[in-house]
Chains A and B, each alone.
Chain A
Amino acid sequence: MSKTNFSSHLQSVARAYRLWAHHNIDIAVLPLMMVAVVITFSLLTAGTRHFFLSGANLSTIAFQIPILGLLSLAMMITMLTGGINLATISTANFTAVIMALILTHLFPEDPSSISAFLLVLLTIIAGLAFSLLLGLINGMLIAYIGVSPVLATLGTMIFYEGLTLAITKGFVLSNFPAQFLIIGIGTIFNIPYTLLVFILVVAILSIVLRRRPFGKQLYMVGSNETATHFSGISIKKVLLKTYLLSGLLCGVAAVILVARFNSANARTGASFLLLTVLISVLGGTDPFGGFGKISGLVLALLTLQFLSSGLNLLGVTPFVAISLWGIILIGAIVYRFFRAKQREKESMGVA
């Protein structure tokens, strides 16, 4: 009885997948990849101290997803317009250091719970406002001065990282008040607060991209700038908003970064830049702009996070992982290329 139940379950899952895959051909392979990764690492680590599906590992993954996810979203939305934001990591680190300075300088020794709450709130608001400012600089350079996104954000990446280094003198700031750190370590029903924040951001951003005029305009700018211009949309405003939003997402990541690691410095997560590009492209975002879905990004994020944790459990050195990300990214682009070619052939056949 239970056997037939199971197989009928499996059949309905397969049916649902086929239906979904039909509409998401670009990222159809991702769920299969994800399942394959989970099964492979579970088998490889079964019976060892570092079992992939152990509570400890799953909890680590749940804590790691939000930061990488937010930074990937910050990368993805700029790619949708055909641009790129190379300054995501340095924006997050700069914001983190600013918040760290507020926390270490303004926080009294033993605050009452109300003033502690207000100060934490103030720190977060100041941090987010600061990240918006950094995003504004990128947006102004790209939208109004006409600098190419690659060079503009390469410049701000170097500049922001430089300022962060100058402020911290290369040291790591740490030891923040517990009232702030709770954001990074607290959980409800074993779900980290930070994961809930990430889910909330994903939900809001999905609505904005799919249902709001700004979302439509963002895709339009990415797919055909001239046509968008002649349909009366201000490309400059759309680009400015995109980079503002990208900065803000880095700001949210920075809040989590400070609270999770209890530290802030100029050079955290340098390898994240490649990973966020990889997650966006693997998730079906076209680096030339116009195409890409949040659902694809989330699937790619989960797949890579599982892969990364699995490699870590097996004791693979980070350098191998870094070169692996590079190779996977090229693989993803190769895959996209052949898919596009195949589709071209099919549509030619129909015509």
Chain B
Amino acid sequence: MANVGNRIKHIFNRNESYLLAVLIVLIIVVSLINPKFLSGENFFAILRTYSFIGILSIGFLMVLISGGIDISFTATATVAQYAMAVFLAANPNVPIVMVILVPIVIGIILGSINAFLIHFLKAPSIIITISTLNAYYGILQFISKGRWIYGFPQWFRDFPNIKLIQFLNENGVYYGLSTITAIWIVLLIAGAIVLRYSVLGRNIYALGGDPKAAHRGGLNLFRLRLFCYSFMGFMAGIGAIVHAMVTQTVAPNALLGQEFDVVTAVVLGGASIFGGTGSVLGTVLGVGLVAVIKNALTIVRVPEYWHQVFIGGVLLISVVITATRTRLARQKNRIIDVQN
């Protein structure tokens, strides 16, 4: 009996429970304002639109758990996306494998450059990634001269419109789970398995919780960091493909600014920049909250130039909550707790 009580208490204490509660309340409020919000169509549309943010969030979560930060990922994704688009536009018959591999390999390479610099120079990750953000972005802008690329082959245009689960609405229009969303879900599961059940994942929590202790415990910090930052790059590469498929245009400045949504989602999800905490479930709920807020702003017709205020405000509130919870927990018992 006491055990059940403890379990319930544990569930109530978890960050994810609060997030879910907030998300549900928000959904109810928005639905009351505009009932169309609660339609299946809108639900799947949001899932499709936010798959890109969601995919990047998994990578960003990994870096935050390891105790670092990477704000260069939109630049990484842009470079990867542009390279892919150049390939595709130059030769529509280019093998599909290449279209997938090019952005992913570029993402992994750029991500591991970050890891090398951060680990070996013992420099703050924020400063290294501000540098690489500008270096990657500047070089791309220079080479591309800001040119947009569009007009992709038919399969590239058709793929994102395939529905894996399909429903018919009353107007006779099909809607459902897009392949894009399916990619996100697969990556989510992969991320959750790595973080929760693999030795690698537990080591990443250990690194973020206390790098010195992790080092003394015999962990290879460089290999862990290399994994986290190249995983971020890998996600940026896949995100780049997904984004290009959804928008069907590739511009060298289209992704810049989207990092705000990603950072907000992951921090909302309970990950702390001090490292060692955060979960895939929290991140999904964080992405959900960002998506619902942005969708709600559009539905309630808040002008576009107010959106950033809300995202910034939500980010500030969530960092305050995360910091306060950490401080209270530290006061209560000085035990480092690995989440889940």
Say yes or no: A161 contacts B324, CB within 8 Å.
Answer: no
A156 to chain B: which residues have CB within 8 Å? 312, 316
Task: Verify if A317 is at the interface (C-beta below 8 Å from B).
Answer: yes
Query: Is B137 in contact with A322, judged by CB distance below 8 angstroms?
Result: yes
Bound Cα distance from A331 to B273, whole angstroms: 26
A163 CA to B305 CA, complexed, in Å: 9
Please state if A323 and B309 are interface contacts (CB–CB under 8 Å): no
B residues 122-165 with Cβ under 8 Å of A? Answer: 122-124, 126-128, 130-139, 141-142
Contact across chains for B124 and A287 when beta carbons are under 8 A apart? yes
Q: Which of A272-299 contact B (CB under 8 A)?
A: 273-274, 277-278, 281, 287-288
A146 to B326, Cβ gap below 8 A?
yes
Partner of A166, one of B117, B139, B309: B309
Contact present for B273 and A151 (CB under 8 Å)? yes
Q: Are B309 and A159 in contact (CB under 8 A)?
A: yes
Partner-B contacts on A (CB < 8 A): 84, 86, 141, 145-148, 150-152, 154-163, 165-166, 169-170, 271, 273-274, 277-278, 281, 287-288, 317, 319-327, 329-330, 333-334, 337
Could you tell me if A141 and B315 are in contact, using CB atoms closer than 8 angstroms? no
**DSSP class of B's interface residues: helix, strand, loop or mixed?**
helix
Contact across chains for B320 and A337 when beta carbons are under 8 A apart: no
Q: Please, which residues of chain A bring their CB within 8 A of the CB of B319?
A: 141, 147, 151-152, 155
Query: B63 in the interface, Cβ–Cβ < 8 Å?
Result: no
Cβ contacts under 8 Å, A273 to chain B: 130
Q: Which 7 A-B pairs have the closest CB atoms?
A: A323-B138, A159-B312, A162-B308, A326-B135, A158-B312, A162-B309, A322-B138
Query: Of B69, B71, B128, B312, which one neighbours A330 at CB under 8 angstroms?
Result: B128
Structural contact, B135 and A323, CB atoms closer than 8 A: yes
Please tell me if B214 contacts chain A, counting CB pairs below 8 Å: no
5 contacts between A and B (CB under 8 A): A146-B327, A147-B320, A147-B323, A161-B312, A274-B133
Chain B interface size band reads 35 or more
Min CB distance B326 to A, Å, is: 7
Distance between Cα atoms of A151 and B260 in the complex (Å):
11
Contact A162 B142 (CB under 8 A): no
A76 to B138, CA, bound (A): 24
- Decide: A319 near B141, CB < 8 A? Known: A148-B274, A159-B312: yes
CB neighbours of B139 from chain A (8 A): 319, 323
The one of A84, A160, A334 in contact with B121, judged by C-beta atoms closer than 8 angstroms, is: A334
B267 at the interface (CB under 8 A from A): yes
Q: In the bound complex, do residue A274 and residue B130 qualify as a contact, i.e. CB atoms below 8 Å apart? A: yes
Chain B residues contacting A161 (CB-CB under 8 Å) are 308, 312
**Are A159 and B313 in contact, CB atoms less than 8 angstroms apart?**
yes
Q: Are B130 and A162 in contact (CB under 8 A)?
A: no
Shortest distance between the CB of A264 and any CB in chain B (Å)? 15
Excluding A146-B324, A319-B141, A333-B123, 8 further A-B contacts by CB distance (< 8 Å) are A141-B323, A158-B264, A162-B311, A165-B309, A166-B305, A317-B142, A320-B138, A337-B123
B303 at the interface (CB under 8 A from A): yes
Shortest beta-carbon distance from B30 to chain A in Å: 20
- Assess the B316–A159 pair: CB atoms within 8 A: yes
Contact with A along B238-276 (1 / 0, CB 8 A): 000000000000000000000010011001000011100
Q: Are B308 and A319 in contact (CB under 8 A)?
A: no
Assess whether B263 is in contact with A154, with CB atoms less than 8 Å apart. Answer: yes
- Chain A residue, CB-CB nearest to B126: A150
Are the CB atoms of A169 and B131 closer together than 8 Å?
Answer: no
Q: Check B142 against A319 for contact (C-beta < 8 Å).
A: yes
CA distance A334 to B120 in the complex (A): 9
Q: How far is the CA of A327 from the CA of B141 in the complex (A)?
A: 15
Contacts of B197 in A (CB 8 A): none
Nearest-neighbour CB distance to chain B for A282, whole angstroms, equals: 12
- A327, B131: Cβ atoms closer than 8 Å: yes
Contact present for B138 and A169 (CB under 8 Å): no
Q: Which residues of B contact A148 (CB under 8 A)?
A: 272-274, 323
Complex interface residues of chain B between 303 and 340 (CB less than 8 A to chain A): 303, 305-313, 315-316, 319-320, 322-324, 326-327
- Which residues of A are found within 8 Å of B309, using beta-carbon distances? 159, 162-163, 165-166
Closest to B311 in A: A158
Give the docked Cα–Cα distance between A146 and B133 (Å).
Answer: 27
B316–A155 CB distance below 8 A: yes
A326 to B326, CA, bound (A): 34
A-chain residues with CB within 8 Å of residue B130 when the two chains form the complex:
273-274, 277, 326, 329
Using CB atoms, name the residue of chain B closest to A270: B256
The answer to whether A329 touches B127, judged by C-beta atoms less than 8 angstroms apart, is yes
